[in-house]
Amino acid sequence: MKEMKLNLFPFSMSEDCLYLNIYAPDHAHEGSNLPVMVWIHGGGLVAGMASMYDGSTLAATEDVVVVTIQYHLGVLGFFSTGDQHARGNWGYLDQVATLRWVQQNIAHFGGNPNRVTIFGESSGGTSVSSHVVSPMSQGLFHGTIMESGVTLLPCL
């Protein structure tokens, strides 16, 4: 039997969630008050990372500050025993922490914390819809774009 190798992505992935990427137009400076778009990547909550997405074109052409985020995935992000021993959802808590960071710091990069839109595709869209209904996320964003994922999907 021949061994099959599967490469999901052409670069290495990391569970280090202390990173986010910020892309701003060249003219952006503190006080620019540009709209902010926070990208939550898809990948079935098991694969993906912030550096897979280059927000520089979106930032330049749409005159926005783009933030791509990293969060715990797979068992490290979403494992739950269904009781107090392992409640799960650390990946979502990483996302909430990022949104709080954006509220506190994005003005230094030319962004307006009162004009934050979160957007994502696939499981990133599911994350976005989860933040819409989560009390922990209230007031941390002002608009949403969900591409092909919603919280009530039976498979997630």
22-54, pLDDT tens digit by residue? 999 999 999 999 999 999 998 888 888 888 889
124: exposed, middle or buried (Cβ count in 10 Å: 0-12, 13-18, 19+): buried
- Dist. CA 1–CA 107, nearest whole Å: 57
Asked if the model's pLDDT at residue 6 lies above 50, the reply is: no
- Dist. CA 78–CA 73, nearest whole Å: 7
User: In 3-state terms, what secondary structure has residue 51?
Assistant: helix
Q: Which domains does the chain have, with CATH numbers?
A: 20-147 (3.40.50.1820)
pLDDT band at residue 82 under the 50/70/90 scheme: confident
Q: What is the DSSP letter of 82?
A: S
Tell me: the pLDDT tens digits for 58-79?
Answer: 999 999 999 999 998 888 888 8
Asked if the model's pLDDT at residue 104 lies above 90, the reply is: yes
Residue 52 near residue 41, CB atoms below 8 Å? yes
User: In 3-state terms, what secondary structure has residue 75?
Assistant: helix
Average pLDDT over residues 90-103: 95
Average pLDDT over residues 129-155: 86
